Amino acid sequence: MCATCGCGPDHHHKDEKKVLDVEQDILQENNLLAQRNRGYFDGKNIFALNLVSSPGSGKTSLLERTLRDLKEELQFAVIEGDQQTANDADRIHATGTKVTQINTGKGCHLDAHMIFHALQGMKLPSDSVLFIENVGNLVCPAMFDLGEKDRVVIMSVTEGEDKPLKYPDMFHSSQLCIINKTDLLPYVPFDLEKAKEYLLKVNPNIEIIEVSCTNGEGLSVWYEWLKSKVLVPFE
Ligand SMILES: Nc1nc2c(ncn2[C@@H]2O[C@H](COP(=O)(O)OP(=O)(O)OP(=O)(O)O)[C@@H](O)[C@H]2O)c(=O)[nH]1
Ligand SMILES: [Mg+2]
């Protein structure tokens, strides 16, 4: 069920006023817990990133590359969110990184409470990086602050350049957009310039990095972004 985003059975509730109240309560409670998570991250100087995208854009692929390529330089942990399976956690585990899988069942997003709970079992080291891979979904996760420092939205060139305009909340609430699968640009009608124009229209402050997790193109730019963020001391 997901009363908040309106994509579950509760969406058909007869009393609209009541639904709105429930939604506000859920989001308010989520925001409070997110602040608690954020305090924990700040206290331990953990740089937490919330990775969001539609299913299959390459969140796990980006993590696999990043964890392998930067493991000598930074200390990482991962929380994986999926409706079902531990497939992604298995892929992360294979890189030698500490990982916790959260299965949301019918839920379509991670929330701050799930992260709070996962953190209790993880014993994260100070001065580390925590990647939270959200459920593949460009809509619902936009509403749920997890306590992350930055939100990173991944968009792949097979999805069409109009996604920022169609799903503005997700792109508006992200600090960085990674455009993935650039190795496929010769084969798909994806207009990179238009994609960037739409991204900036929805969010003039968003940073944009183009990569291919398959051939490695552009990954060094993402790595520099990540390292620059981690090395900057928190205020
Ligand atoms: N050609 C190409 N394929 C890619 C690239 N990155 C990922 N893929 C492929 O895209 C598919 C989905 O990648 P994942 O990393 O599983 O995507 P995801 O966003 O984690 O998917 P969910 O967790 O299910 O939402 C896989 O078959 C990857 O091999 C890329 O840069 N180029
Ligand atoms: Mg994944």
Q: Say how many C-beta atoms besides its own lie within 10 A of residue 48's C-beta.
A: 24
pTM given for the model: 0.93
State the Cα–Cα distance between residues 35 and 118, nearest whole angstrom.
16
- Measured in Å, residue 18 CA sits from the centre of ligand 2 at 35
Domain at 15-231: CATH architecture? 3-Layer(aba) Sandwich (3.40)
Give, for all 235 residues of the chain, the pLDDT tens digit: 466 666 554 545 567 777 777 778 889 999 999 999 999 999 999 999 999 999 999 999 999 999 999 999 999 999 999 999 999 999 999 999 999 999 999 999 999 999 999 999 999 999 999 999 999 999 999 999 999 999 999 999 999 999 999 999 999 999 999 999 999 999 999 999 999 999 999 999 999 999 999 999 999 999 999 999 986 554 4
The letter for the amino acid at 175 is Q
Burial group, residue 184, by CB count within 10 angstroms (0-12, 13-18, 19+): middle
Atom of ligand 1 nearest to the CA of 82: 23
The gap from C-alpha 71 to its chain's centroid, in whole angstroms, comes to 20
Nearest in space to 195 (alpha carbons), one of 220, 175, 166: 166
Q: Is there a contact between 122 and 41 (Cβ–Cβ < 8 Å)?
A: no
- Domain boundaries in the chain? 15-231
Asked if residue 88 has its Cβ within 6 Å of ligand 1, the reply is yes
Alpha-carbon distance of 96 to 76, in angstroms, equals 10
